[in-house]
Structure 1
Amino acid sequence: MSTSSTSCKIDIGRLEGKENWSTWRCKVLLLLRGTPGGLDAINGNLKPPTHPDAAANPAAMASYQQALQDYNEKDSAAMLILMANMSDVTLQKVMRLTSAKQIWDELHTLFDGTSEDKSYNLCYSFFSYRKDPLHDMSMHISKLKNIWHELKVELQKDEAKYDLPDILIICKILETLPDDS
């Protein structure tokens, strides 16, 4: 496992599809946060420099070349992190794209679904959630809180900015506790 900027592959697991998109996205965001320009690249805040006009002096051209190299290094590092940590099937869906932002947007299109679909699926997951007998209590509550958090975030994206009262998560935790707790 290497963390140097020249070797951006850290084993966070491969993005296979919708089934592991949520956990993969969390891990890759953490990895990108530790990469200079990584988050800026996927969020679209990293922009290529504007090419100077033909009458630009050598100093302006040198400055442009340096800025272009910096942009390419940051965008390439983010692309490498994304592409090196996905399955070949997923890679084939994004390999035509030429920037980290384009790849990130495409992954969201492929695996997040529409906001309405995601809200419905999260709501369904939350209200149908039952404790897995193999999970201890902390894992059970953690999984429920993760679904709850994703649902709240998704509902805040809506124009109406729905806000769920915290009493719902408390009630759900209590409802799913085993009788022997």
Structure 2
Amino acid sequence: MKAILGAHDVWEVVEKGYTEPEDETTLSQPQNESLKDSRKRDKKALYLIYQALDDNDFEKVSSATSAKQAWEKLQTSYKGAEQVKKVCLQVLRGEFESLHMKGSESISDYFSRVLAISNQLKRNGEKLEDVRIMEKILRSLDPKFEHIVVTIEETKNLEEISIEQLMGSLQAYEEKHKKRALSNKLDEKVNYVKEEKEDNGVVLLAYKNNDGDQDYTWYLDTGASNHMCGRRSTFVELNESKSEVFGAFKKFKATIEKESGCKIKAMRSDRGGEFTSKESQEFCEANGIVDL
């Protein structure tokens, strides 16, 4: 309210008032003009005071005949309110000191919570500098921000940055932390294998032979072995030259597709050079074949 009265150049008449003469007829022309000006400014100040009050406060000053008198009545009525303000300050100070960021809380939400209490403290007369607010925030952040807090404390002077700049730095770190956590979560899902157990276990292949003859032993293809039998004569066609493998594969593809009427869409190789060459890759891409 002082700011409003000062802006209208009437605070002086509110603070000091003016004196009404007992007999105006004795006043000179300049004195009469000065009196008129004082009365005009006083009424203007009283009007501004009335405009700033609610119904309850207006009743407290409705009997005042001057702006100075109205101001004094307001001061008297608010003396009791000063005691309430002191109690309120004590409560707010306790809340400010006990502030801590919740694990599920974002930087933006925590800053809003801290600033809400800080502004209440300031409105109740507490001198609270931005540096103190920033120090409190850094002390009370969630442990996951420990690394960025140490970096800020070692590289930045809090007296030279604003609360908004501090919040921006912490939010940038928060976004990186979220992306890293999401990436790790996706990796865990990709690498996760669900184990399902059944009452009746099934063994895919069990073989025991003590005679040492492995010629006719066949192995279940696990994707790790290159051959499924140790006897050469068992194979209809066996190409041992890597340089001819790709050409043999193309002939094999043409024969199979002609006989079956179906297209080869995938194959499994040992990732040897004959399968990873530029010629092989271009051929597979052109024919829609995926190397598993």
Where does residue 19 of structure 2 map in the other structure?
A: 48
* Higher RCO (CA-CA < 8 Å; seq separation 6+): 1
Larger Rg: 2
CA contact (8 A) 1:125 1:147 kept: yes
| 2:164 match | none
Distance 1:72 1:136, change over 3 A: farther
Counterparts in 2 of 1:140 and 1:33: CA distance versus 1, 3 Å = farther
Return closer, same or farther for 1:147/1:176 CA change in 2, 3 Å cut-off. farther
Aligned to 1:119: 86
- Distance in 2 of aligned mates of 1:168 and 1:95: 43
- Distance across 2 between alignment mates of 1:96 and 1:73: 19
Match of 1:39 among 11, 20, 23: 11
Give the secondary structure class of the aligned counterpart of 2:86.
helix
Task: Note if 1:102 corresponds to 2:75.
Answer: no
Specify every segment of 5 or more residues in structure 2 that has no aligned partner in the other structure, as ranges.
146-169, 171-292
**Is the Cα–Cα contact under 8 Å of residues 5 and 45 in structure 2 kept in the other structure?**
yes
Specify the SS of the correspondent of 2:8. Answer: coil
Q: Which position in structure 2 is the counterpart of 1:3?
A: none
Q: Is the Cα contact below 8 Å between 1:49 and 1:67 reproduced in 2? A: no
Runs of 5+ consecutive residues of structure 1 not aligned to the other structure: 1-27, 154-163
Q: Secondary structure of the residue that 2:94 maps to in structure 1?
A: helix
Q: 2:12 and 2:7 mapped to 1: Cα distance?
A: 12
Deviation digits for residues 101-159 of structure 1 (CA, Å, limit 9, x no counterpart) = 2212222222352655533332333323469x997736843751562574457xxxxxx
For the 8 Å contact 1:144–1:173, the answer to whether it is kept is: no
- Distance verdict in 2 for CA 1:149–1:82, change over 3 Å: closer
Find the aligned partners of 1:104 and 1:177 in 2 and give their Cα distance. 46
Cα pair distance change 1:42/1:123, threshold 3 Å:
farther
2:216 matched residue in structure 1: none
CA distance in 1, matches of 2:137, 2:15: 35
Specify the alignment match of 1:92 in structure 2: 59
Q: CA deviation at 1:97?
A: 1.0
Q: Aligned residues: percent identity?
A: 20
* SS across alignment from 1:113: helix
CA distance in 2, matches of 1:109, 1:178: 47
Give the TM-score, by structure 2 length. Answer: 0.36
**1:58-88 alpha-carbon deviations (Å, 9 max, x no partner):** xx43222211111111111111001022222
Distance in 1 of aligned mates of 2:47 and 2:55: 14
Distance 1:29 1:151, change over 3 A: closer
Q: Residue 84 and residue 124 in structure 1: after superposition, are their counterparts in 2 closer, same or farther (change >3 A)?
A: same
Task: State the distance in 2 between where 1:123 and 1:40 align.
Answer: 34
Alignment length (residue pairs): 137
Whether 2:38 is the aligned partner of 1:67: answer: no
SS of the residue 2:28 aligns to = helix
